[in-house]
Chain A
Amino acid sequence: MNSYHLDHLQYLETEAIHIIREVAAEFDRPCLMFTGGKDSICLVRLAEKSFRPSNIPMPFLNIDTGHHFPELNEFRDRRAKEVGVKLIIRYVEDAIKSGAAIPRPGEISRNQLQIPTLLAAIEEFQFDCNIGGGRRDEEKARAKERFFSPRNAFGQWDEKNQRPEIWNIYNARVNPGENMRVFPLSNWTEMDVWQYIKRENLEVPRIYLSHQRKCVRRRGQWLPVTDLLPPKPNEEVKELTVRVRTIGDIISTGMVESPADSVEDIIAEIATARVTERGSRADDRASEAAMEDRKKAGYF
């Protein structure tokens, strides 16, 4: 092996930087979806690497369902300040009030309602491109997603009509009213993300690390007990040592029992894990095609 050689993280990094810079060069009004979750933490570091010493030339956008973990939002706000980027937050609650998002009768989850809220934000700020932290290894429907994924005026993904992506030449052209979703981490796995967090020494929200929490057993998962999710009388409730592997809403994110309280421990844990990270999200378990349906409707 010669010394002019990149290891896997360096390869994934240079690929992602190339893509993020293409976005800055080709779009007029891009934004970066920043949730505070582990994938978007990597995105932010990659954006720093792409543009420093200049400022990151795009705002961050977050759709707040109102069901977020409070620790996550605190981290999100602080991190945006640290890197000196304007953070735009749009709330599902407001979208419900304005009528942009309409809950189905009895619907508690805010997952579906993120979609109209996001589309309204895109409209409001005229974003022509949103960079997101989606990875192809997360879920089967994502395996076919492109780096540059055009959405029509309704934000919909048409998986039968995707543009071929050849070499490292990305077709970034969209017509007015259309919007591009770009996924620089497409080729990253969960392990790559954690190894990168370790190599770059990135801070992560506490909920990824082991802590004590009261949980309720529901459909084979431990869900966090909160005001939004009070246990029913016959349900099993336990105080457990847990962490999250992937973060969705506080009412649907399964907690995994884990003593891992450092990034090193998490890496070791994933190395021996026997379930994929999405296995802990109730929204994906509903049906094998759950993610595919949400993507077609404009989900990230």
Chain B
Amino acid sequence: MPHTQHPVEILRLNTCGSVDDGKSTLIGRLLYDSKNLMEDQLEALERSADITGGGQINLANLTDGLRAEREQGITIDVAYRYFATPRRKFIVADTPGHVQYTRNMVTGASTANLSIVLVDARQGVTEQTRRHTYLAALLGIPHLVIAINKMDLVNWSEERFLEIRDEIEDFIPKLDVFRDVKFIPLSALNGDNVVTSSKHTPWYQGPALLGHLETVHIASDWNLNALRFPVQWVNRPNNPRDAQLHDFRGLSGQIVGGIARKDQTVIVLPAGLKSTLKEIWTYDGVLTEAFCPQSVTFCLADDIDISRGDMIVGLENLPGCGADLHARICWMHQKPLQPGRKFFFKHTTQTTQAVITSLESRINMATFEPEPQPPALAMNDIGVLRLKISKPIVFDGYSTNRLTGSFILIEQGTNTTVAAGMLSPPTEAVKPEYTDFAI
């Protein structure tokens, strides 16, 4: 693996496509051509080529993980791959395309900066292509790459490439959420325009896929506008012998939005108490500033009763607060979702109970139009619903902040994660009726 002394950033991406569009081959190709494969991996590839592949190395084997999948010849879940170049490190969520696709893609894409949607150049835009692009938009992924694969099978035709591009551009404006969208003609099998530019596409002026992944601007992918600090763990050393530690009252957690500055005024929600951020404590020393997604420990000027699940925010861009929520969800369980069911509801560092009060609509995945009042949501359905939770939470709309606008539903009894939810923006921001904290 190439090695560098310079700071390198991480880019997280996921690949989407239907079965046989060439996802596994593409990831294998990226690993192979960027020299991230090791000899024993190559040997294992060659060994399995001799046994099952008639001697032909199959790059797709590199990413087909588990035995069950090898036996069935399909990938069944989400697998993560790692590779690096001197410029960036990459975490690839490999999400297979088949029935459970929506669930897997939501999982793989939830943490991604960038999605690669594969299109088979022969087949062009399919229902799957639209669906994957829609899901990438729904999940708020900032950067999109449409990789038009198997160009070798359409004679490297520029017309074919443009035809597919135009068709996709026709529906992308409706989604209108991506910061940038890139179309790249390639052949994963032969490596054209994957790591190096292809001599077969003189008409294509853009970068090869890897070059784009190395340079796409991701520095502003995190929300730095509004401070959000869900308290995760109360840090009280309780050490009677050490004078300094005796009084240490820290609030540990990860900043999930905005920038925190020493001595700034903060509000603790939902209580609505105001205080001053006296110290930003870390193992490596105190900071004057900390930002999303750093993990730190806050010390406030006042001794307020604060526990896990409380949210510390700044004075600007206040979040919403409530127990009646409106959200889009992806249903991930075989048992259909009916209104009236109860679940555990986990949002940031807080778990409460939720009941589904009404199903407003189900998204038709062919037209992306909502169908009102469905009787239930089936596995892999996207739906819009209302829910009531047992205790108000402090939140933002998912489109404003992916981390304070998201939640999961957990089935009671089995403890399975059954849904991923994206909250609608609050109808109004909290108006804390605080007075300055005084004892």
Point out residues on A near B: beta carbons under 8 Å: 1-2, 4-8, 10-15, 17-18, 21-22, 24-25, 48-55, 136-137, 140-141, 143-144, 150, 159-160, 162-169, 171, 173-175, 186-187, 189, 191-192, 267-268, 270-276, 278-279, 288-289, 292
Of B60-68, B201-209, B317-325, B389-397, the one with at least 4 CB within 8 A of chain A = B60-68
- Across the interface, A171 reaches (CB within 8 A) one of B2, B237, B346, namely B346
Q: Are B66 and A21 in contact (CB under 8 A)?
A: no
- Across the interface, A4 reaches (CB within 8 A) one of B256, B259, B344, namely B259
**Contact A173 B410, CB 8 Å, known A49-B283, A141-B65:** yes
* Chain A nearest Cβ from B95, distance in angstroms: 11
Q: Are A143 and B80 in contact (CB under 8 A)?
A: yes
Q: Are A274 and B38 in contact (CB under 8 A)?
A: yes
Chain A residues with Cβ below 8 Å from B348 are 169
- Across the interface, B417 reaches (CB within 8 A) one of A171, A267, A273, namely A171
Chain B residues with Cβ below 8 Å from A22 are 232, 349
* Chain A nearest Cβ from B395, distance in angstroms: 13
Q: Are B2 and A271 in contact (CB under 8 A)?
A: yes
Chain A residues with Cβ below 8 Å from B77 are 144, 159-160, 162
* Chain A nearest Cβ from B339, distance in angstroms: 22
Can you show 7 pairs from A to B with CB atoms below 8 A apart? A5-B9, A13-B295, A167-B111, A167-B420, A171-B410, A267-B3, A289-B67
B408 within 8 A of A: yes
**Contact A18 B80, CB 8 Å, known A7-B8, A140-B65:** no
Chain A residues with Cβ below 8 Å from B80 are 136, 143-144, 186-187
Give CA–CA (A165, B109) in the complex, Å: 10
Chain B residues with Cβ below 8 Å from A166 are 106-107, 110, 406, 408, 417, 420
Q: Are B39 and A279 in contact (CB under 8 A)?
A: yes
B291 within 8 A of A: yes
Q: Are B68 and A159 in contact (CB under 8 A)?
A: yes
Give CA–CA (A14, B294) in the complex, Å: 6
**Contact A163 B406, CB 8 Å, known A18-B295, A292-B67:** no
Q: Are A48 and B283 in contact (CB under 8 A)?
A: yes
In the complex, per-residue mask of B216-253: 1 if CB is within 8 Å of any chain A CB, else 0: 00011010100000001101111000000100101011
- Across the interface, A7 reaches (CB within 8 A) one of B7, B78, B81, B110, namely B7
**Contact A137 B82, CB 8 Å, known A164-B420, A165-B107, A167-B111:** yes
B402 within 8 A of A: yes
* Chain A nearest Cβ from B361, distance in angstroms: 21
Of chain B, the residue at the smallest CB distance from A272 is B3
Q: Are A24 and B106 in contact (CB under 8 A)?
A: no
Q: Are B68 and A6 in contact (CB under 8 A)?
A: no
Chain A residues with Cβ below 8 Å from B38 are 273-276, 279
Give CA–CA (A205, B130) in the complex, Å: 53
In the complex, per-residue mask of B72-101: 1 if CB is within 8 Å of any chain A CB, else 0: 000011111110100001010000000000
B40 within 8 A of A: yes
Apart from A53-B245, A167-B111, A189-B82, what are 6 other A-B pairs with CB-CB below 8 Å? A11-B10, A144-B78, A160-B68, A165-B417, A169-B406, A171-B415
* Chain A nearest Cβ from B59, distance in angstroms: 14
Point out residues on B near A: beta carbons under 8 Å: 1-3, 7-10, 38-41, 44, 47-48, 63, 65-68, 76-82, 84, 89, 91, 103-104, 106-107, 110-111, 219-220, 222, 224, 232-233, 235-238, 245, 248, 250, 252-254, 256, 259, 281-284, 291-295, 308, 332, 344, 346-349, 402-403, 406-408, 410, 415-417, 420
Chain B residues with Cβ below 8 Å from A192 are 89
Q: Are B402 and A167 in contact (CB under 8 A)?
A: yes
Give CA–CA (A189, B380) in the complex, Å: 32
**Contact A18 B417, CB 8 Å, known A169-B407, A189-B1:** no
Of chain B, the residue at the smallest CB distance from A150 is B415
Q: Are A25 and B308 in contact (CB under 8 A)?
A: yes
Q: Are B254 and A50 in contact (CB under 8 A)?
A: no
**Contact A24 B1, CB 8 Å, known A163-B416, A167-B403, A191-B84:** no
Q: Are B79 and A275 in contact (CB under 8 A)?
A: no
Q: Are B232 and A21 in contact (CB under 8 A)?
A: yes
Q: Are A6 and B293 in contact (CB under 8 A)?
A: yes
Give CA–CA (A48, B41) in the complex, Å: 35
Give CA–CA (A169, B417) in the complex, Å: 10
B39, B67, B224 — which one has the most chain A CB atoms within 10 A of its CB? B67
**Contact A171 B252, CB 8 Å, known A6-B293, A166-B417, A274-B39:** no
- Across the interface, A144 reaches (CB within 8 A) one of B66, B235, B332, B349, namely B66
Of chain A, the residue at the smallest CB distance from B284 is A49
Chain A residues with Cβ below 8 Å from B253 are 21
Of chain B, the residue at the smallest CB distance from A194 is B3
* Chain A nearest Cβ from B410, distance in angstroms: 5
Q: Are B415 and A175 in contact (CB under 8 A)?
A: yes
Q: Are B295 and A276 in contact (CB under 8 A)?
A: no
- Across the interface, B9 reaches (CB within 8 A) one of A8, A52, A174, A271, namely A8
Chain B residues with Cβ below 8 Å from A51 are 233, 235, 252
Give CA–CA (A173, B403) in the complex, Å: 20
B7, B8, B44, B417 — which one has the most chain A CB atoms within 10 A of its CB? B417
Chain A residues with Cβ below 8 Å from B76 are 160
